[in-house]
Chain A
Amino acid sequence: MKQNTIFQSAAIVAAGIILALVANAFASRDRKVSLVGTYPNALKVPAREVQVAPIATPVTQTVATTTQPATITVPPTATTSTQPTATAAIETVGLNPMVKTPAAPAPTTTTAPTPHAPLPTPTREFTAHPDKPYIEIAYNDVKALHDKNVLFLDARRTSVYEQGHIPGARTYSVWESDIDDKVNKLFAERNDQAAQNLPIVIYCSGGDCEDSHMLAQKLWGIQFNNVYVYKDGFPDWQQHGAPVHTGANP
């Protein structure tokens, strides 16, 4: 009787494993997971965050803020035809929030709840920082970089991205199976040191969301040395009344 129960239990588990593998094999792209994930902090309990920073106050994790006029520092050899965002950033060296690049998303699908929001003042230089995977920044810096058409990556799930995202952002969910392909594609797009030193902004849902940090670490691991994490994430972007784009396209 006891042996029979053990055999039956093993059979249920074995059937569960087979069904799980088959279901995953046939799952859609955004429902699929890779069998072995890479999550560097899987066993590390995060320190509890204390919310002290008011909205619009720049927050940095490891670097003190500065009042210098901000510039996107880009090596002069960074132009390639396959890097639209890189090219756009190079074309607009020196931050001017009034300048809009032609690559801005179509206005028909973009909403801006508060059109008369004050223009953001960036607080820092966005130079490469190869010694750390990312620097956390707040809305003003994020908006300034967005206005310069810097590459934005949305680390939330694709289904959430489709409900609303920062215009121009690409979907890069760290939980979906194609994340490594997307990261490799980005590496292929920005395949020289100069391009890899261009700023990239990553965001997720703010609060205790770590997806953007995980993605930043992935990018840092393949030599992207100028990654910024929008600490307060998409909810903060919405709170500031900045434009939001819906649908599957950036």
Chain B
Amino acid sequence: MKRYLTHPWLTIRVQLALGAIFVIAAIPKIADPPSFAHMIYNYRLVPASLINLSALVMPWVELLAGLALILGIWKRAARNLIGILLAIFIIAISINLFRDNAIDCGCFNVADRGKTHEQRIFDMKVDVVRDLGMLLMVGQLWWAGKREEQEL
């Protein structure tokens, strides 16, 4: 089982998929930083002075980390950064689920979609599950990397 889960055939596909997801997620945020800043504000977790800076920098880190995974450059660093970002996203959305603060996650789309409170809460739950799935992909890459190191 372990051999299949850490097989290079699977690892390269997970790496490419995760990289592509992060590149795709970064583009709308880079294209419209004010809207992404608004999304970050809606989380009510980031101090006012850091909202705009986060909205500017985070998408570029996502893009560079995603590209690094796709191109196979600095894979471990990119994987670790993506893992940290995913952990932050999961914690942030979960806190707001707990507080019943319905938000658009701003993960792939930064436009206000005019959803109801209930629709947003449902979407947030889906987002957490999706991000946990991506965190599992990071785990697979970490595990495969570990095995690679042992074999060397």
* Inter-chain residue pair count (beta carbon < 8 A): 111
Residues of A within 8 A of B32 (CB): 31
B interface vs A, CB < 8 Å? 30-35, 37-38, 41, 44-49, 51-53, 55-61, 63-65, 68, 74, 76-78, 80-81, 99-102, 112, 114, 117, 149
B99 / chain A contacts, CB cutoff of 8 Å:
45
CB–CB B101/A33 < 8 A: no
Query: Across the two chains, which residue of chain B brings its CB closest to A34?
Result: B52
Contact B77 A12 (CB under 8 A): yes
Chain B residues with Cβ below 8 Å from A44 are 44
Query: Would you call the interface of chain A mostly helix, strand, loop, or mixed?
Result: loop
Q: Across the interface, which residues of B come within 8 angstroms of A43, CB to CB? A: 44-45, 47-48
Q: Do B101 and A46 have beta carbons less than 8 Å apart?
A: yes
Interface range on chain A: under 10, 10 to 19, 20 to 34, or 35 or more?
A: 35 or more
Interface contact B80-A9, CB-CB below 8 Å: yes
Q: Are A24 and B44 in contact, with the CB atoms below 8 A?
A: no
Identify which of residues 1-26 in chain A touch chain B, using a CB-to-CB cut-off of 8 Å. Answer: 1, 5-6, 8-9, 11-13, 15-17, 19-21, 23-24
Which one of A13, A16, A35 has the highest number of Cβ atoms from chain B below 10 Å of its Cβ? Answer: A16
In the docked arrangement, what's the CA distance between A11 and B30, Å?
A: 19
- Seed contacts A37-B52, A48-B100; 18 additional CB < 8 Å A-B pairs: A6-B77, A12-B65, A12-B78, A15-B60, A23-B56, A31-B31, A32-B33, A35-B53, A35-B56, A36-B52, A36-B53, A37-B51, A39-B48, A43-B47, A173-B34, A175-B38, A177-B34, A211-B38
